Amino acid sequence: MRKALLVPLAAFAVAFSTAASAEPQELSIPAQRTSTIEVSGSGSVQVKPDIAVIRIGVATEDANAESAVARNSASTAKVLSEIAAAGIEKTDLQTAQFSLYPQTQAASSSAKERGGTTIFRASNTVSVTVRKLERLAEILGKAVAAGSNQISGPDFIVSEPEKHLGEARRKAVEQALAKANTYAEAAGLKLGTVLSITEEGGASPVPVFRASYAKAQSVPVESGEETLSAQVRIVIELVKP
């Protein structure tokens, strides 16, 4: 009995397998790979800065810490008053650093035997934003005349770089496309569709000094120019001519 049953079952399995194999099958065809080239380009524009930031400070020394701070505060207030009179708004003044620390000085042979004399040095530095560059030399001169003995800067800034970066970006793209076209022609191909454009980094101002001086109270100043730059990376399709 077992043998008689096995024959029909086997025949059914073969028939089912044949019918299944007769059904249409989907074939997976690999997508054709697109040839591309990736290049970078840069462009820049020169812009005259319209803002300057300077750090104006006063340092005082005294044998007493409180006296050092009091003298420093009075001197700093005088300097700030002169700066304000030159047209600087309070919103453009910001305390950058205040410090008070002891230091040892050996003023004489007897002081050396006692290990030196301790004095206190107080320092107050204010960051000043100058929005009218034609007044910069005057402000520096007034600060020195009022008692400032610590000055650093200026740092020149373009207040609205985005207004000028469009031209730099256009130049960057043009340079990248020209470079890609050279490579494509050398390989016997030509450029197709631009697949992506990525801007790298941001505006990078670099001072370019010019021989233009403004003078007030023997303080020479030159504003020069800022170089705003843009960098892009472009991926372009390559096609046969």
Same domain membership, residue 153 and residue 78: yes
Given pLDDT bands bounded at 50, 70 and 90, which one contains residue 5?
very low
64, pLDDT greater than 60: yes
Instruction: State the average pLDDT over residues 172-191.
Output: 96
Maximum alpha-carbon separation in the chain: 129
Same domain membership, residue 189 and residue 96: no
Query: Which CATH number goes with the domain that contains 223?
Result: 3.30.110.170
For the chain, percent of residues with pLDDT exceeding 90: 63
Query: Which CATH number goes with the domain that contains 92?
Result: 3.30.70.2970
Give the lowest-confidence range in 64-68, 76-80, 102-106, 167-171: 102-106
Same domain membership, residue 121 and residue 205: no
Q: Which residue in 71, 126, 128 sits closest to 100, CA to CA?
A: 71
Token duo for residue 214: 């403004």
Given pLDDT bands bounded at 50, 70 and 90, which one contains residue 28?
low
Q: How far apart are CA 96 and CA 127, in angstroms?
A: 6
The secondary element (H helix, E strand) that includes residue 196 is strand 190-200
pLDDT value of position 216: 40
SS3 for 11? helix
Q: How far apart are CA 31 and CA 46, in angstroms?
A: 47
Given pLDDT bands bounded at 50, 70 and 90, which one contains residue 36?
very high
| Residue that is last in its domain, among 157, 191, 206 | 157
46, pLDDT greater than 90: yes
pLDDT digit string, tens, across residues 207-239: 443 333 334 444 667 778 889 999 999 999 999
pLDDT value of position 111: 44
Bond preceding residue 30 cis, omega within 30 of 0: no
pLDDT value of position 192: 95
For the chain, percent of residues with pLDDT exceeding 70: 74
Same domain membership, residue 225 and residue 129: no
Same domain membership, residue 222 and residue 189: yes
Instruction: State the average pLDDT over residues 135-145.
Output: 92
In this predicted model, which residue has the larger pLDDT, 184 or 21?
A: 184
83, pLDDT greater than 80: yes
In this structure, is residue 98 part of a structural domain?
Answer: yes
pLDDT value of position 33: 72
Same domain membership, residue 152 and residue 178: no
Residue 117 belongs to what domain range?
51-157
CA dihedral 76, 81, 84, 90 (to 10 degrees): 60
Asked whether the beta carbons of 59 and 121 are under 8 A apart, the reply is yes
Token duo for residue 9: 């079952």
Task: Please state the domain count of the chain.
Answer: 2
121, pLDDT greater than 50: yes
Mean pLDDT, the chain, integer? 82
Q: How far apart are CA 177 and CA 162, in angstroms?
A: 23
Ordered strands of the 93-105 beta sheet: 93-105, 117-130, 51-62, 150-157
Given pLDDT bands bounded at 50, 70 and 90, which one contains residue 112?
very low
Q: How far apart are CA 57 and CA 62, in angstroms?
A: 17
pLDDT value of position 226: 87
Residue 229 identity:
S
| Residue that is last in its domain, among 129, 157, 185 | 157
61, pLDDT greater than 80: yes
109, pLDDT greater than 60: no
**Residue 113 exposed, middle or buried by CB count within 10 Å (0-12, 13-18, 19+):** exposed
